[in-house]
Structure 1
Amino acid sequence: MIKSVRTVEDYLLHLKSKGFQLREDAVGFIYFGQHYTNSTDEITNAAIEITLKAQKNFDGSFYISLLETFASNKIHSRKAALQFVKEIELLAV
């Protein structure tokens, strides 16, 4: 769980410190998705977190879809992102 807003790089290092290894291509895809959707670090980190919780591993298409959904629904915070996925019953959080 993310306790405060941190950079995507910091969040990926946090995941690594917890034993969750993302392959180099997945990390590249994370940054691609962030830039493609013009998402903030906070929203990108939330999308990574939700992807990992929902899919049990990193699924690039699920992650991009989340970022696009957050952008189209004007979701701008982790709290709003978690509330949104709860409302649409994507994830029991």
Structure 2
Amino acid sequence: MKKTHSLAYYLEDLWSRGFKLSDEDVHFIYFGKNSTNVEEWKTILALKMTLKLQKKFDPSFYISVLEHISSSSITTRKQAYESLERRGLTSNQ
């Protein structure tokens, strides 16, 4: 997914692929994005990692990942993935 795709587009893509998030989940995703004041690509990455690792939407896990990658020192997807990997959060678990 390109950085330019919006969070709404990503959520719509999930829906079209059969992954149905509740309205409450979607509101929480936007709440997390707004409360951490991060770029959309970081929000999408946090959601993507949450769904990959938890196999469902887990609000506390999502917020944890989002807060971790919200650091201003993380400026690329590669840096975000490396940081999560150092923390032990990979899809190879």
Match among 2, 5, 10 for residue 4 of structure 1: 2
The alignment of Structure 1 onto Structure 2 pairs a total of residues equal to 91
CA offset digits 1:14-70 (Å, max 9, x no partner): 111111110000000000000000011100000000000111100111111111111
Q: TM-score, normalised by structure 2?
A: 0.87
Instruction: Find the aligned partners of 1:13 and 1:57 in 2 and give their Cα distance.
Output: 16
Checking the alignment, whether the CA contact within 8 Å between 2:42 and 2:70 is kept in structure 1 is: no
Instruction: Find the aligned partners of 1:59 and 1:36 in 2 and give their Cα distance.
Output: 17
Q: Does 1:17 align with 2:16?
A: yes
Q: TM-score, normalised by structure 1?
A: 0.87
Checking the alignment, whether the CA contact within 8 Å between 1:42 and 1:77 is kept in structure 2 is: no
Q: What residue number does 1:64 align with?
A: 63
Instruction: Find the aligned partners of 1:59 and 1:92 in 2 and give their Cα distance.
Output: 15
Equivalent residue of 1:4, what SS? coil
Structure 2: which 5+ residue stretches go unaligned?
none
Tell me the amino acid that sits aligned with residue 75 of structure 2.
H
Checking the alignment, whether the CA contact within 8 Å between 2:25 and 2:57 is kept in structure 1 is: yes
Aligned CA RMSD, in angstroms, stands at 1.5
Checking the alignment, whether the CA contact within 8 Å between 2:53 and 2:91 is kept in structure 1 is: no
Q: What residue number does 2:79 align with?
A: 80
Q: What residue number does 2:30 align with?
A: 31
Structure 1: which 5+ residue stretches go unaligned?
none
Checking the alignment, whether the CA contact within 8 Å between 1:51 and 1:62 is kept in structure 2 is: yes
